[in-house]
Chain A
């Protein structure tokens, strides 16, 4: 087993100095790689981010039947892992959304380029282009891609609350967390209009903006002064399913438990 230090060192290498996997540097002169840091020690499981994302991104209503069928859509979900048994049982929370992998297993399998890596490091989903093979959803090891089994329904007047910046997805296509690309675009446009550079913190996806404890932080991983890139260098950082080699843009920070037994400290084994 690799030591915690090795892991941490690798994480720093990976997230700190990542290069841009772009074919066309012209399109990304700022050399951005958008990324998120998720602090597992700060997530309280409050679900604010989940509903914020539903609201921002026009996610269809997950009726009870949909949940039972396992077809509920949530671009971000709070996974909860149990540890131990009563009276020493613990619950650990983990927010999981699209990891915007640098080496995304969902991308090469799409026959029509409906999902691809954009110059700023986002894994983008082109709804118009998607033909609904669901190959990408099979390929994604994090299972954060969702298929539209039917046309979404918003009984009148619920349609009024739909976000005009985000496409409503029809039946037959796949959707997923976009890192709120509409907000990124708006922030960039606003910055240009105001004649300034995009600053750290200008872009805030809906989940990040709502999260009360700041368990979620968003920004440019390639900017060494940004909050995310500093946090990503923490010795608590790790990647989900690291062994698969997906090079995610989402960096997790380990849960801190001062009372965990030394042998259970997963970092030290």
Chain B
């Protein structure tokens, strides 16, 4: 006789006596409820969870998320478990997606300037009037300047064609720009695509300044892989070495962290190459061709460890040790990012570092650096940023006459250094005929605008997205509205399609709405992805899975050898003499608040910086001994003075900060914004000197030196950590450590 569980027994009994009495114990039946779809406008089932896959609002590396909605309201963001980039995981910023969606300070309707220019006074108008103004001011004969962030996919395609059709220009603005990274990849591997870093299968990561676990390129993808790299089943624990001037979040997770004077990363990388080559740890057949292409062994001879060590601040022993580890623990990956590339010699430093991959033979190899295919042309990956020097030169070019400018979702008036001509132009409104901004929130550029347009949240619009740093495959994410907007906002793509009828007749886009545009490009690409299904079914399947990933007809390819010469690597140049400006200023992006775009969200403002645990405000990281010498203690306000300007912020004495370095997070000090970010902290970006990378003209945002001046006031820093002297506990440290 089968064993009767208690529950079965009661359920059986319930059948016999009629369920009423035992409802609490009986098997909960599948609920069925008749519900009219007329009453369920948002595909919602009353009281039931409905999940939609879409692209995360806050992660420009292309994170597919599933959003839980209940009764037509978005509740919770989770990673899309099927999506190969984030594999069900999310970045901290994606988690806050629902908060920016339901933010009380969102712009809700179009507004026209009512006060003087720059007064920031507006009156609400209707969309009809707003569109009329936009058509008049942006349309012929004006040649508008369109400025957006790193938008992608159909949206990017429409924006670029829009600017082109009107004879204007489309600039892509990225505050801490990564132009040098792209340039060095182009030089080192001969590709425009970001490569796939096979962190999952690698044995060793040698990272020069790349905060790949926090903010660099595709942090969630790399973090998921890092989990496997450290403790994946059936593999040895991988080793991570981080070489950088200020310890980043990734640096704090490194097994070996080394300080380097900024700008010398290239020299040290070449020195490591020199050790590997001269000690013969890796056979010549591996690195011969590549080295020959960049100048041969002789060119490396200038980079003997003892020649490099003093300038770079890395000991000869450390250079040797890292070289031997890197060469012996293969496959390994060498990557460059952050302050290493934000120098006047940034792109060359980048190539020198990436060259190490050629030296140990990990280019194109499992566990190494692998090529990514190009995205389909109708779904571009995020547009490459426009180099800073182009922004800087706009004001000069404007001799042509006053400009009409349309800024979407970025804030150049906030992010550009104070000295930039273009920023002056925006702020002083010289030579600006018309300025329109479209965004979800007020920002600094908004204050100078003539017309302000409210935009949809990414959870309210259609879109698509080719992942830039994919995993060696074509990975496309689809964005669908998760909820209906609560107010009269429009999506950027829809707006452009409305005001530019030419776009619709033009061959590039034949659609009246983003929905149509996205769908038609998807059908064109993947309409027959599953031949067993109709194109429409395939489209629904794409939306359900959140995207498409898989084989591609255009596999990526690296060049055979790097296209570079070791001789082109020069030393760095800084703004400010090291006598007067004794500190190297390293601005950095925090993991939660980003470059300030995320600061509207109180969750992200309140999420502590991992290393300092500071929340909400801007701080100055300084070595405790240096602070002692200067007579400063935690929370004392100092003026950070660069040759360009100054800001004041409280100091945080952090034992990981080198004596000659100060670190300041970007993203604070927005003069306009929501209630939680307006005037919160200080804006370090504004006082950077306009130093540029000599090759690409990119902003060298870590090439400004600074000095500190005491303000004489003090203000407690809002930290998670308690200020008091911690107990020095050797007996039972909370984080226990073992060697293996």
Binding site for B on A (CB under 8 A): 4, 26, 29, 39-42, 44-48, 50-52, 54-56, 61-64, 67-68, 70, 72, 74, 77-82, 84-87, 89-94, 155-164, 189, 192-193, 206, 209-215, 236, 238, 240-243, 252, 254-260, 262, 264-267
Contact = CB atoms under 8 A, between A and B. Distances in A.
Q: How large is the interface on B (under 10, 10 to 19, 20 to 34, 35 or more residues)?
A: 35 or more
Contact of A265 (B28, B78, B737): B737
5 contacts: A61-B602, A64-B617, A67-B720, A210-B90, A214-B227
Interface in B448-494: 486
B61 to A, nearest CB: 12
A45 B249 CA distance: 7
B90 A86 contact: no
A86 B623 contact: yes
B710 interface: no
A265 B95 contact: no
A220 B405 CA distance: 59
A214 B257 CA distance: 23
Contacts of B252: 45, 90-91, 93
B710 to A, nearest CB: 22
A256 B680 CA distance: 38
Given A82-B656, A210-B95, 5 more contacts: A44-B250, A93-B253, A209-B78, A212-B226, A256-B740
A255 B720 contact: no
Tell me if B's interface is mostly helix, strand, loop or mixed: loop
B629 interface: no
A44 B680 contact: no
A64 B250 CA distance: 26
Interface of B: 5-6, 27-30, 47, 70, 73-79, 86, 88-92, 95-96, 98-99, 101-104, 213-214, 219-220, 223-224, 226-227, 230-231, 237, 239, 247, 249-250, 252-253, 255-259, 486, 591-592, 602-608, 610-611, 613, 615-617, 623-625, 655-659, 675-676, 680, 716, 718-722, 732-740
Contacts of B78: 209-210
B735 A86 contact: no
Nearest to A188: B28
Given A86-B659, A158-B102, A158-B104, A206 B610 contact: no
Given A93-B610, A158-B99, A192 B739 contact: no
Contacts of B259: 86-87
Given A81-B733, A157-B486, A39 B88 contact: no
Of all A-B residue pairs in the complex, the 3 with the closest CB atoms, nearest first, are: A45-B610, A212-B223, A213-B227
A213 B655 contact: no
A52 B95 contact: yes
Contact of A44 (B214, B617, B718): B214
A164 B75 contact: yes
Contacts of A50: 92, 607-608
B231 A39 contact: yes
A160 B457 CA distance: 15
Q: Which of B247, B256, B676, B739 has the most CB of A within 10 A?
A: B739
Contact of B73 (A44, A48, A160): A160
A260 B5 CA distance: 54
Given A47-B608, A54-B603, A213-B230, A89 B74 contact: no
Contact of B92 (A46, A242, A243, A255): A46
Contact of B74 (A29, A161, A209): A161
Contacts of B75: 161-164
Nearest to B315: A87
Contacts of B29: 193
Contact of B249 (A46, A213, A238, A254): A46
B103 to A, nearest CB: 7
Contact of B253 (A45, A55, A240): A45
B91 A45 contact: no
Q: Which of A64, A159, A163, A164 has the most CB of B within 10 A?
A: A64
A170 B187 CA distance: 59
Contact of B607 (A51, A158, A164, A260): A51
Contacts of A42: 226-227, 230-231
A81 B656 CA distance: 11
A46 B99 CA distance: 19
Contacts of A78: 608, 610
A99 to B, nearest CB: 12
B737 A161 contact: no
A267 B255 contact: no
A189 B49 CA distance: 14
Contacts of A214: 224, 227
A241 B731 CA distance: 11
B347 to A, nearest CB: 28
Nearest to B610: A45
A256 B30 CA distance: 48
Given A52-B90, A80-B611, A68 B718 contact: yes
Contact of A192 (B5, B27, B256): B27
Nearest to A87: B259
Contacts of B617: 64
B89 to A, nearest CB: 4
A84 B733 CA distance: 13
Given A48-B90, A164-B70, A210-B89, A259 B255 contact: yes
B734 A81 contact: yes
